[in-house]
């Protein structure tokens, strides 16, 4: 056997190994298996990346003689790129195999899906995949998210890698590790789902257009501040619609600062996130607009902007969401709030909640914690706390089938063809970076 023949055999084996890995992960999404609720996510990801694999295989088929030796490193790097992109998700899916992480991740995955699905039904996106992270607060992976890939010559750098990830159909949400034992904060996932909805359905232009009549008469500095804050304001509103008063409570605890700092934020430089007082005023106004009267904190020079801004964003309409008002896309109803309150009451008596509505259960965790934090203290050996009771109920509500068994239908998208286009993007990014490096 010649060197060329051995190299071709080696490359084909490595390429086949990717498909074999994909097949094993897809098998893990069968009913009753650990990843059963992630079936469409895994199938779509492996199909999309499988399109990249097919393009690599086609290039290998077209190579002959010395071309194989000249191209073998590049082809192996493209295979490695598939592994790196898949591992971005695979490493997060792996967390579900740790038995003591699984109940929490099942709950936040289901909550994220229940928040995302009303906006995404029948669209070319999948529910966010939640994972655990060393970041201080929850975040949605975007280009600016702190993240780095291995520094491999002639491979995607971090910026380009994240650019490719955003072309894949699965958003990713990171939660701080310590939330594993503090379910009352999980309702803030609704905010992160709002970011995913904004990005996935191209809503920022609409958000700006909807608020332009409100901001047009503002002084320039205040108008620029709101323009900077709009993505966060939209996400906070989505969080209110996803979790109701429980979301506002969790956000208030996340943002808590002393009075001196709160006042300084209002007069300080404009950052990506609005000052805490502005965010809490926005959520209070949104609660009032949706039937849950709430005290609104003062927010200095932005006081008169809150009501018209919130009303404009809630009322839409949003072409990217079927020309619907945001408040009709998703809402936390009075009935859901009653069910969450009833569940919280039961938790105080160490009773398992009756409702199977996962959004109500996550909200109930927050409401119960607000009333009696000790309910969520680590229990003595052999006992359970309020978090355990909720997670057990969520596990029963989720069941053993896939989401497709529950009526979720994946969008009719040719992920293989999209994967072939993704290969072209990866290849062009790497070639351009290589050219720039050698200029």
- Position 145 scores a pLDDT of 47
- Position 390 scores a pLDDT of 98
Q: Are 95 and 105 in contact (CB under 8 A)?
A: yes
- Position 113 scores a pLDDT of 94
pLDDT tens-digit profile, the chain (439 residues): 788 888 888 989 999 999 999 999 999 999 989 999 999 999 999 999 999 999 999 988 888 777 778 888 888 889 999 999 999 999 999 999 999 999 999 999 999 999 999 998 777 778 899 999 887 666 664 434 444 556 666 677 777 777 777 778 888 899 999 999 999 999 999 999 999 999 999 999 999 999 999 999 999 999 999 999 999 999 999 999 999 999 999 999 999 877 777 778 888 888 899 999 999 999 999 999 999 999 999 999 999 999 999 999 999 999 999 999 999 999 999 999 999 999 999 999 999 999 999 999 999 999 999 999 999 999 999 999 999 999 999 999 998 776 655 555 555 568 889 888 888 888 888 877 655 554 4
- Position 265 scores a pLDDT of 84
- Position 123 scores a pLDDT of 75
Sheet of strand 172-176, all strands in order from the earlier edge strand to the far edge: 129-133, 172-176, 139-140
- Position 399 scores a pLDDT of 81
Q: Are 49 and 22 in contact (CB under 8 A)?
A: yes
- Position 358 scores a pLDDT of 98
- Of 246, 100, 181, 186, the residue nearest 386 (C-alpha): 181
- Position 268 scores a pLDDT of 84
- Position 62 scores a pLDDT of 85
* Percent helix / strand / coil, the chain, rounded to 5: 70, 5, 30
- Position 142 scores a pLDDT of 46
- Position 111 scores a pLDDT of 97
* Cβ-based burial of 221 (10 A; exposed 0-12, middle 13-18, buried ≥19): exposed
Q: pTM score, two decimals?
A: 0.89
- Position 340 scores a pLDDT of 98
What Å distances lie between residue 337 and 168, 255, 359, 376, CA to CA?
35, 23, 10, 20
Neighbour count for residue 244 (Cβ, 10 Å)? 29
């Amino acid at each position: 056997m010649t060197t060329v023949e051995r190299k071709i055999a080696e490359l084909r084996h490595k390429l086949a190994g990717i498909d074999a890995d994909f097949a094993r992960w897809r098998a893990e999404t069968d009913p009753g298996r650990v990843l059963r609720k992630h079936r469409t996510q895994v199938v779509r990801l492996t199909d999309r990346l499988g399109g990249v694999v097919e393009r690599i295989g086609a290039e290998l088929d077209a190579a002959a003689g010395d071309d194989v030796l000249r191209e073998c490193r590049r082809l192996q790097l493209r295979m490695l790129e598939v592994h790196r992109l898949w591992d971005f998700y695979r490493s997060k899916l792996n967390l579900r195999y740790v038995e003591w992480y699984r109940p929490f991740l099942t709950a936040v995955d289901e909550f994220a899906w229940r928040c995302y699905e009303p906006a995404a039904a029948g669209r070319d996106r999948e529910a966010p995949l939640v994972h655990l992270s060393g970041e201080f607060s929850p975040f949605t992976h975007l280009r600016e998210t702190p993240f780095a890939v291995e520094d491999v010559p002639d491979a995607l750098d971090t910026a380009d890698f994240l650019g490719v990830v955003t072309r894949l159909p699965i958003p990713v949400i990171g939660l701080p590790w310590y939330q594993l034992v503090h379910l009352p904060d999980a309702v803030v996932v609704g905010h992160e789902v709002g970011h995913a909805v904004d990005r996935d359905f191209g809503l920022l232009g609409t958000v700006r257009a909807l608020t332009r009549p409100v901001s047009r008469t503002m002084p320039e500095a205040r108008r620029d501040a709101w323009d900077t804050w709009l993505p966060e304001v939209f996400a906070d509103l989505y969080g209110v619609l996803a979790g109701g008063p429980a979301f506002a409570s969790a956000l208030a605890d996340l943002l808590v600062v002393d009075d001196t700092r709160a006042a300084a934020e209002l007069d300080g430089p404009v950052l990506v996130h609005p000052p805490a007082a502005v965010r809490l005023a926005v959520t209070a106004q949104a609660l009032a607009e949706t039937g849950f009267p709430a005290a609104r904190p003062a927010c200095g020079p932005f006081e008169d902007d809150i009501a018209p801004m919130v009303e404009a964003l809630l009322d839409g309409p949003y072409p990217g969401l079927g020309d619907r008002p945001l408040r009709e896309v998703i809402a936390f109803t009075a009935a859901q709030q009653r069910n969450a309150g009833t569940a919280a009451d039961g938790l105080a008596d160490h009773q398992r909640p009756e409702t199977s509505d996962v959004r109500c259960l996550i909200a109930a965790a927050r409401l119960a914690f607000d009333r009696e934090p000790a309910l969520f203290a680590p229990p003595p050996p052999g006992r359970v706390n309020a978090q355990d009771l909720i997670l057990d109920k969520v596990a029963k509500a989720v069941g053993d089938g896939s989401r497709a068994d529950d009526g979720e239908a994946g969008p009719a998208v040719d992920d293989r063809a999209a994967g072939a286009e993704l290969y072209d993007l990866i290849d062009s990014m790497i070639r351009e970076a290589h050219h720039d490096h050698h200029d």
